[in-house]
Structure 1
Amino acid sequence: MSVSTHVLDAVLGRPAAGIFVRLYADQELIAEGVTDHDGRCRLTEDATALGTHRLVFATGRWFAEQDREAFWPEVVLTFSIAEPAEHHHVPLLLSPFAYSTYRGS
């Protein structure tokens, strides 16, 4: 399975570059990265186990670096892997007081 994400700043209408992201399988940290200039981060291309995974976005730090107030110190997206061979793209649409996500392609 490969896992990637794309973070968009919904208020400014542009990519959210520089957000630190961690990927966990259950409690084990399996990858980490930072969103690039386009707000994208490919966390792994390696196979991983079936089951529950989490993406943890350090959103509080990112907003603070921009001197913007935010309600979310971090955003945690928990998802289930049923097909390890498939690519899993998990976008995050972010604003200081709300967020949304979906399974991308």
Structure 2
Amino acid sequence: MSAQRLQQLKGHLLHDNKMSAMAGPVSPLSTHVLNTAMGVPGSNMSLSLHRQDPSTEAWSLITTGTTNEDGRCPGLISKQMFVPGVYKMRFETGQYWETIGESSFYPYVEIVFIIKDPGQRYHVPLLLSRFSYSTYRGS
């Protein structure tokens, strides 16, 4: 890994710690998009958050947003709205790549996950390149 990339990662991690120390009320659910192909945050990406109705399995839109210059979309959901259930975050990856002059194999990415304890804090990052993506449950 190049020294420049390591420096970017270090700055990014330090920024995370500063932001959480300065933040006010924190959303119980957060996300972070990282363009791993270019080593930069996935900024200006449209996304939406949905919850599945347990009886019909239909998806209800909760909110939409756009990632900021750091690849984050703060304030996704309030603590009051965050209840147990099945959730989905949809990231408009095709549009994102087009805006930076690239094409992508994936027109969008949907991450579906289960919330059992809404009292916990959940972080669902998206690590992205034009031909692959990964995610994990952070905290």
**TM-score range for the pair, normalised by the shorter chain length:** over 0.9
Structure with the largest fraction of helix: 2
Aligned with 1:38 (options 66, 70, 75):
70
Secondary structure, aligned partner of 1:61: helix
RCO higher in structure (CA 8 A, sep ≥6): 1
Q: 1:1-105 counterparts in 2 under 5 A?
A: 2-26=28-52, 27-42=59-74, 43-47=76-80, 48-105=82-139
Gaps of 5+ in 1: none
Q: Deviations over 1:9-34 (max 9, x none)?
A: 01101101000110000111111111
- Max radius of gyration: which structure? 2
**2: distance between equivalents of 1:85 and 1:31?**
20
Of 40-49 and 24-33, the range deviating more from structure 2: 40-49
Gaps of 5+ in 2: 1-26, 53-58
Query: Runs of at least 4 residues of structure 1 off by over 6 A?
Result: none
Output the aligned Cα RMSD: 1.1
CA shift, 1:96, in A, is 0.4
Structure with the largest fraction of strand: 1
CA shift, 1:66, in A, is 1.1
**2: distance between equivalents of 1:64 and 1:46?**
34
* TM norm structure 1: 0.94
How many residue pairs match? The answer is 105
